Chain A
Amino acid sequence: DVKVTQSSRYLVKRTGEKVFLECVQDMDHENMFWYRQDPGLGLRLIYFSYDVKMKEKGDIPEGYSVSREKKERFSLILESASTNQTSMYLCASSLRGGWNTEAFFGQGTRLTVV
């Protein structure tokens, strides 16, 4: 069974803290993604990766960085957390190859920055 696991369901962090969100997939997928979900805005892509040590900016990369040292793991880093980064963060993975493929999502991390 396909599985994408995010390390935390809920996180509360203080403004200015460095925050790490971890994601692991067990499907041997090449592609991994970080999205954030905000009411009325849907899911917006922060960063994605097509391969180990490879990353590309999505639509809203400002204030974030990522790391992919191993194929199964994709980390999202908030360098200095701010209150406008309070959101639901969703990790996803998919097979490379055709464009016509679904992405599988983790359960999400609800991050609150106070």
Chain B
Amino acid sequence: DQQVKQNSPSLSVQEGRISILNCDYTNSMFDYFLWYKKYPAEGPTFLISISSIKDKNEDGRFTVFLNKSAKHLSLHIVPSQPGDSAVYFCAASHPAAGNKLTFGGGTRVLVKP
């Protein structure tokens, strides 16, 4: 039973437009959320995170939104660039789990020039 789900396995977007990636979770104990980016044949790299006390966190072109009541978060990339083409993973953790992260299935993003 996946506690973190990314229901869109893939996303295609034109360069310069917005990419919106979605993530849903079922465990209400989760209170810290992260997004990782992964290129083929490389390990995931941390992109941005958000604590449950916030509903938005922004870092340059990347913004993460959290809706706790809906158990939903999203990652916005504006503007999208060809170098953003990668697989994006949503992850979550909670205090009782220590530093163990639970990951979603990933969304493959393709940014077309």
Contacts and interface: CB of A to CB of B under 8 A. Distances in A.
Interface of A: 4, 9, 31, 33, 35, 40-45, 48, 50, 58, 90, 92, 94-96, 99-108, 110
A88 to B, nearest CB: 9
Interface of B: 2, 4, 6, 9, 31-32, 34, 36, 41-46, 49, 51, 89, 91, 93-95, 97-106
B43 A40 contact: no
23 contacts: A4-B43, A9-B41, A31-B98, A42-B2, A42-B104, A42-B105, A43-B44, A43-B89, A43-B91, A45-B102, A48-B100, A90-B43, A95-B99, A99-B98, A100-B32, A101-B99, A102-B34, A102-B46, A103-B46, A103-B99, A103-B101, A104-B46, A105-B36
Given A42-B106, A99-B93, A102-B49, A108 B41 contact: yes
Contact of A90 (B44, B94, B97, B104): B44
